[in-house]
Structure 1
Amino acid sequence: MQAPLEFRPKLLQALQGYSRQQFWGDVGAGLTVGVVALPLAMAFAIASGLKPEAGLFTAIIAGFLISALGGSRVQIGGPAGAFIVIVYGIVERYGLANLIIATAMSGVMLFAFGLFKLGTLVRFIPIAVVIGFTNGIAVLIAVSQVKEFLGLQVPHMPGNFFGIVQTVFQSLHTLNGYATLLALACLGLIVGWQWGVPRLALTRPWARKWTLVPGSIVALVLATLLVTFFGIPVETIGTRFGGVPSSLPTLDWPEFSWETARFLLLPAFTLALLGAIESLLCARIADSIIDDRHNPNQELMAQGIANFVTPFFGGMPATGTIARTVTNAKSGATSPVAGMVHAATLLLVVLVAAPLAHNIPLAAMAAILMFVAWNMGEWREFVHLRQYRLPYRATLLAVFFLTVVFDLTVAVEVGLVAACMTFIYRISSLSRCEQVSTQDYPPLAGLEARVAAHRLHGAIFFGAVKLIETLEDRLPQRVLVLDFKNVLYIDSSGADTVADLVRTCHKRGVRFIACGLAFQPQDILLRCGVIEALGPENLSATLAQALELAVHDAQG
């Protein structure tokens, strides 16, 4: 009987015994994280080749759905920096309409991941692969923002690394000094704010309340005021996009064809896989802060629903966001209500204060994204690489360079293959075969040519079947004993190899005695017919019993 669909949002559990004090704590946290999300949502959309409202609509719609339906108490969903490179590539190659289709397809895939309880499998992706593509994406984000940081006049920016670098160098003669100085000032302010305010708060109690205000919003406000009152000649959201609409998003249903969907399967899967990894990593970080345990399958289903709905209302791909989630948790959030308040805060900003975004300089947005890219990367891992073995270093560096130079999809595929090959090699090297000597069992003395006994250790799988195959080349004259006591696992390839050894022993008139079979090895050998071929007289519970039978047979 198939297990019933388990769809139980964390919100239902959180609302049991929900108090007024918790509500006001969630409201305060939601307002705080809403302020944090405002510049990031617009910046991620602009960097992805979309209009700024795409990021805001995503933070509103997807942020509300992920909080209301998700499996984490405090996770905040919305546009993320990890998607910038992929979304830009899809828009450049397939167009905006196909981005909507690809995002919706990724939503279906994410929901299927959760429905079939694959949430825990995402954790099996090696950390070297995760760090490699995270650092690679961070580099691509930083490189893609050089144009806005320097105020270069570039009609169209390529989506690949070498194309971006070439275009930037060819356009350096269009550098806008005002934009560069403004971006440097904003970046310096953000870095100084993050570093200085928490330290000032340790000795100045009045500064503690300022730790809740992100440096990005301070830089954005000051840069906008400078442009507004001093007329600094830099490109703004208004001059590039015409501002941000102060209205609710409308349903936009693109033309759909299976022929188009076929080409979007791989980009959609990349979005789904990256969204799953980001959201579940983020949820685990949130658990460590609030001492809770999220439901990974429920989280993936919520992410799927959000990514299916949001693109039809002008949004972009969404996932759990680490910076906003940590801000939410540390601001006193106790339930998904905080994430819903964060979405409502952004909606209020769009409806009331959208005209104020007209003079936001793109150079300030670039500075914010430069800071995000720096925080996003695990740069210390490069320094510590010498502490790890060659396979780990090779995997991390390969994924990093492939992400930067080629494509994230190729990088993840190569990284997973490399990690799997490394894992197979390491597990196979742990599997071994030890011969039982006369010191271990004295009655074998003088019978070495007629009796051979071996202890098997580890897993007998397709990567370690050589251990069994080599025994065929040195079979004894009368009896072969194999001790499976320390064998943890046998796969179908291993079982077939054991069956071949049994048949070879029968052809050469050698008795095959197996002993110490645990549940899993015995089960697969039974299903493969090996147990039946051996017969009950050739099965022993312990090695001592098997050797006693072997010696008796050899002396008979």
Structure 2
Amino acid sequence: MSMDAAQYGRMFVPKLYTVLRGGYRWTDLRADAIAGLTVAIVALPLAMALAIASGTTPEKGLYTAIIAGFLISALGGSRVQIGGPTAAFIPVVFVVIQKFGFGGLILCTLLAGLMLIGAGLLRLGTLMKYMPQPVITGFTAGIAVSIFSSQVKDVLGLRMESVPAEFFARWSAYARHIATTQPAAVALAVLGLAIIIALRRWKPNWPGFLIALLVCTGVCIAFAMPAETIGSRFGSLPSSLPVFDFPRIPFERTFELLPSAFTIAFLAGVESLLSAVVADGMTGGRHRSNGELVAQGVANVGAALFGGLPATGAIARTATNIRAGGRSPVAGMLHAAFLLVFMLLLTPWMRYVPLAALAAVLLVVAWNMSEYQHFRHTLSAPKGDRLVLLLTFFLTVFFDLTIAIEAGIVTAAFVFMFRMADAFEVNSGIKLIDENGDDRASGADPTQRARLPEGVEAFQISGPLFFGAASRLDELLDQFFDPPQVFILRMRLVPIIDASGVHALKTLLDRCRRRGIVLIISGLQAQPLEVVRKMGLDLHEGGLHFVADFESALQLAETLLDSGKNTKATDA
């Protein structure tokens, strides 16, 4: 179905325009300023650490956080998205710089930005949510391992010229230089880790990364510790505004750089939309996925023109922005402005920061990025999902991120086709896919709504709940103007479910819990019931019930409503 120009254009209207048009008050500005300052304090050490880990100088990370961070917030499709350099890019950026120099990275980032703009204009943002969860978990965990291995040199203070890009060659080089370990570097790294971990446990609202850097820097100066610092490796950092100043771009090598550019664009698109989805879950808002992709593309082009690194939406910094009270894109724009002020005023002092302390920051980032709980959880999924997870993970660690993503998606597609063929044979005559695109499944009971008590809503889904359809569950609660007290999800016509489907059910359950809604799932068939139990969804306590059929679901809903009324009457 064609889309008129006005409707098409609305997909790319920045959320900033929407916020300002709706009225922006002084209280909003004050809240956004506090949130922007909080995020800037978190982003300052991260930007420098990510740039160093990527094989370039610290100011490149700051330039990226300032330029790209401002553009992503000003033009993006999310109210509270915070953009900048992220750990996901480290492996690919490190390899590009080693092979093609920093000029090659500039060209790569430009190409990636144009790809993202094109993807947004072609309305491909909605396709990003069809990415299989095992692929995302696999390459994310693989990137975490790569980041960890890249920081061993600075954690141990090894005296070696450079760190190889390949995993085995890197660890072989570490083994050859292990005798050059510097106790001072190890002590500073351990101190930094201890501070960050302690603050996260006892003072989670404090800026742990920044405090760890300040303490480690103070200790290093006070005791004249022989540890490598930003100044000893990179010299003095520039304390001026970012300018159009970047190396010669090797346009003749464009074809060679296309795979890396695609990887950067893919990572930027997936991570930014994942971050926007997380933000929606925390705020109850809805982002514009295609508009977000265009903004990410413009931000990457802008970062490249100022000699920066690839950028995307940062999940951790976005969550920090929300928890700090950020209300609009102005918070992200102010975060960039505060970073610029920090860079102009604090640059002379940054040269004393020990690299071991920055490495400690990245070790924590790698641990957070690994999401080992999701990894372990997916290992309990069906064999096909485990195959996709492990294949993507090992290819990311031992070979190349581009190959890992391609192989993971292709393998996931084959696993899906196998499941579809098997489901069609077993469930002959059942309509597996809703061809008319209507969210209301064609198999729904026409008398369902008339039988529902007040305060109860129900929805019947049909067909396999796999990675291609799982995202539709996230939209169910948005269809009700007034949130119900009890929500019945009828799954009698769902023949199979995979890890992404279970993940979608957990997301739906989390949203129901936040809104005080009891979720009842009725009629699970044998395969979905086995997978759900195997992956531990039925172990969740409170707010979730499994029943055999719709009649049992109605009886349970009435019991829950009566129990709630009696509780209110007693409290009164």
Same fold (TM over 0.5): yes
Q: Residues 427 and 459 of structure 1 are in contact (CA less than 8 Å); yes or no, is this contact kept in structure 2?
A: no
**1:275-424 map, 5 Å:** 275-424=268-417
- 1:30-60 CA-partner distances (Å, limit 9, x unpaired): 0000000000000000000010000000000
One-letter amino acid of the structure 2 residue matched with residue 216 of structure 1? F
When residues 419 and 51 of structure 1 are mapped into structure 2, their CA distance, relative to the original with a 3 A threshold, is: same
- 1:114-158 CA-partner distances (Å, limit 9, x unpaired): 111111101111000000000000000001000000000110110
One-letter amino acid of the structure 2 residue matched with residue 25 of structure 1? A
Mean CA deviation greater in 80-89 or 423-432: 423-432
The corresponding residue for 1:133 is 139
Q: Residues 135 and 377 of structure 1 are in contact (CA less than 8 Å); yes or no, is this contact kept in structure 2?
A: yes
In the alignment, does 2:12 pair up with 1:26? no
Q: Residues 102 and 247 of structure 2 are in contact (CA less than 8 Å); yes or no, is this contact kept in structure 1?
A: no
Q: What percentage of aligned pairs have identical amino acids?
A: 47
Q: Which of 217, 221, 242 is residue 224 of structure 1 equivalent to?
A: 217
Q: How many pairs are equivalent?
A: 432
| Cα distance between partner residues in 1 of 2:430 and 2:116 | 42
One-letter amino acid of the structure 1 residue matched with residue 107 of structure 2? I
| Cα distance between partner residues in 2 of 1:337 and 1:456 | 50
Mean CA deviation greater in 265-274 or 3-12: 3-12
- 1:391-438 CA-partner distances (Å, limit 9, x unpaired): 01111011001100001111111100110001111111121389xxxx
Offset at residue 488 of structure 1 (A):
9.2
| Cα distance between partner residues in 2 of 1:456 and 1:373 | 45
Q: Secondary structure at the match of 1:249?
A: coil
| Cα distance between partner residues in 1 of 2:73 and 2:95 | 28
Q: Residues 26 and 332 of structure 1 are in contact (CA less than 8 Å); yes or no, is this contact kept in structure 2?
A: yes
The corresponding residue for 2:17 is 12
Offset at residue 456 of structure 1 (A):
7.6
TM, length-normalised to structure 1: 0.75
| Cα distance between partner residues in 1 of 2:334 and 2:434 | 54
| Cα distance between partner residues in 1 of 2:241 and 2:110 | 20
- 1:294-321 CA-partner distances (Å, limit 9, x unpaired): 1011110000000011112121000000
Q: Residues 433 and 456 of structure 1 are in contact (CA less than 8 Å); yes or no, is this contact kept in structure 2?
A: no
| Cα distance between partner residues in 1 of 2:117 and 2:318 | 21
| Cα distance between partner residues in 2 of 1:182 and 1:109 | 42
When residues 332 and 161 of structure 1 are mapped into structure 2, their CA distance, relative to the original with a 3 A threshold, is: same
Offset at residue 196 of structure 1 (A):
1.7
In the alignment, does 2:72 pair up with 1:66? yes
Offset at residue 260 of structure 1 (A):
1.0
The corresponding residue for 1:493 is none
One-letter amino acid of the structure 2 residue matched with residue 115 of structure 1? L
Q: Which of 25, 39, 53 is residue 59 of structure 2 equivalent to?
A: 53
Offset at residue 455 of structure 1 (A):
5.4
Offset at residue 243 of structure 1 (A):
2.8
Structure 2 unaligned runs (5+)? 436-461, 465-572
| Cα distance between partner residues in 2 of 1:488 and 1:185 | 53
Q: Residues 39 and 365 of structure 1 are in contact (CA less than 8 Å); yes or no, is this contact kept in structure 2?
A: yes
Q: Which of 200, 206, 210 is residue 194 of structure 1 equivalent to?
A: 200
- 1:356-386 CA-partner distances (Å, limit 9, x unpaired): 1010000000000000000111212343345
Structure 1 unaligned runs (5+)? 199-210, 435-453, 462-486, 490-556
One-letter amino acid of the structure 2 residue matched with residue 11 of structure 1? L
The corresponding residue for 1:108 is 114
Offset at residue 26 of structure 1 (A):
0.2
When residues 150 and 256 of structure 1 are mapped into structure 2, their CA distance, relative to the original with a 3 A threshold, is: closer
- 1:164-197 CA-partner distances (Å, limit 9, x unpaired): 1111111101100010011011101101110122
The corresponding residue for 2:230 is 237
Q: Residues 71 and 298 of structure 1 are in contact (CA less than 8 Å); yes or no, is this contact kept in structure 2?
A: yes
| Cα distance between partner residues in 1 of 2:283 and 2:306 | 33
Offset at residue 249 of structure 1 (A):
1.6
Mean CA deviation greater in 188-197 or 105-114: 188-197
| Cα distance between partner residues in 2 of 1:456 and 1:12 | 46
Q: Which of 161, 164, 168 is residue 162 of structure 1 equivalent to?
A: 168
Offset at residue 338 of structure 1 (A):
0.3
One-letter amino acid of the structure 2 residue matched with residue 429 of structure 1? D
Offset at residue 230 of structure 1 (A):
2.3
One-letter amino acid of the structure 2 residue matched with residue 425 of structure 1? F
When residues 101 and 237 of structure 1 are mapped into structure 2, their CA distance, relative to the original with a 3 A threshold, is: same
In the alignment, does 2:96 pair up with 1:90? yes
When residues 240 and 430 of structure 1 are mapped into structure 2, their CA distance, relative to the original with a 3 A threshold, is: same
TM, length-normalised to structure 2: 0.73
When residues 457 and 322 of structure 1 are mapped into structure 2, their CA distance, relative to the original with a 3 A threshold, is: closer
| Cα distance between partner residues in 1 of 2:429 and 2:221 | 80
